[in-house]
Amino acid sequence: MTPGQVTLVGAGPGDPELLTLKAAKAIAAASVILVDDLVGDGVLAHARPGARITYVGKRGGCKSTPQATIEQLMLEAVRAGENVVRLKGGDPFIFGRGGEEVESLRRAGIEPVVVNGITAGLAALTTLGAPLTHRDRAHGVVFATGHPQKNGPGVDWARLGAAVGELRLTLVIYMGISSAPSIQAGLLAALPEGTPVAVIERASLPAQRQCVTTLGGLLDSLRAQGLGSPAIMVVGDVVRGVRAALAEAARATETG
């Protein structure tokens, strides 16, 4: 039997209108779709009738489908001649285990196609009207995970914070809510308490919530607002623009 095709597709941050044309075409052509937990229902509206859709969610702190099982499902389907789409929230190659899956497929003699998606770390701050880079405020971006591999070394937040301050970078943290106390403590070893921080939960979706705070006030703000996963944290001077805009809006409301 002639093998099928595997395509790793980035579904974007959640809003189905942020799906790329190439991603929508791949989803529409698929006979088998393996779907991550954070993929919005609206994205699956592009699937063709009769497509076999299997949910293989992976979220920190929740019951997850083992990665080896997901890779086996892909291999079994493509060897059966299916057109397989592995549908992931955000982008497959940014904390989406896309690299692991590509390597697994290649070891089995399958060369996959990868379709990029808008990563949540970019979309989240965009919803607040702020950029990740700015000529005067941030000369680069660092994407980091707050949920490192089990029994792994983890992130040295103090060293990363020092680099963010010294090099004028924006720090974008994925999956960091459960580790917020250690992230805050580590970053405060290198950055001032007044460093601006934005936390955006369910970015781009109707249920999105957010808070704009400071590094010193991060934990208090999370508790007060009741923010939880999935959420993106953005640390750095680019957030100052958001705080200024919110303050201006509040003044306009008071005087209006």
- Are both 194 and 78 inside the same structural domain? no
Q: Rounded CA gap, 155 and 161, in Å?
A: 11
Please pick, among 15, 88, 91, 175, the residue that the annotation labels catalytic: 175
Q: What is the CATH number of the domain that holds 12?
A: 3.40.1010.10
- Are both 136 and 201 inside the same structural domain? yes
Q: Kindly state whether residue 48 falls inside one of the protein's structural domains.
A: yes
Q: Kindly state whether residue 214 falls inside one of the protein's structural domains.
A: yes
220 is catalytic: no
Q: Kindly state whether residue 188 falls inside one of the protein's structural domains.
A: yes
This prediction's pTM: 0.90
- Are both 144 and 104 inside the same structural domain? no
Q: What is the CATH number of the domain that holds 212?
A: 3.30.950.10
What are the Cα distances from residue 231, in Å, to 36, 99, 145, 234? 16, 22, 11, 10
- Are both 178 and 146 inside the same structural domain? yes
Q: Kindly state whether residue 253 falls inside one of the protein's structural domains.
A: no
User: Among the three residues 71, 89, 115, which one is the final residue of a domain in this structure?
Assistant: 115
- Are both 74 and 90 inside the same structural domain? yes
Q: What pLDDT does residue 37 have?
A: 85
Please pick, among 15, 36, 74, 88, the residue that the annotation labels catalytic: 36
Please pick, among 58, 74, 88, 233, the residue that the annotation labels catalytic: 58
- Are both 95 and 146 inside the same structural domain? no
175 is catalytic: yes
User: Among the three residues 97, 115, 133, which one is the final residue of a domain in this structure?
Assistant: 115
Q: Domain residues for 16?
A: 5-115
**Tens-digit pLDDT string for the chain (256 aa):** 677 999 999 999 999 999 999 999 999 999 999 999 889 889 999 999 999 999 997 655 456 789 999 999 999 999 999 999 999 999 999 998 999 999 999 999 999 999 999 999 999 999 999 999 999 999 999 999 998 777 777 899 999 999 999 999 999 999 999 999 999 999 999 999 999 999 999 999 999 999 999 999 999 999 999 999 999 999 999 998 786 666 665 565 566 5
88 is catalytic: no
User: Among the three residues 72, 99, 115, which one is the final residue of a domain in this structure?
Assistant: 115
Cα angle 99-24-73, degrees, rounded to a multiple of 5: 45
- Are both 124 and 237 inside the same structural domain? yes
Angle in degrees, 0-180, between the axes of helices 98-107 and 67-79, rounded to the nearest 10: 50
Q: What pLDDT does residue 63 have?
A: 61
- Are both 62 and 143 inside the same structural domain? no
Into how many domains does the chain fold?
2
Q: Are strands 231-235 and 196-201 parallel, antiparallel or unpaired?
A: antiparallel
Q: What pLDDT does residue 245 have?
A: 66
- Are both 77 and 176 inside the same structural domain? no
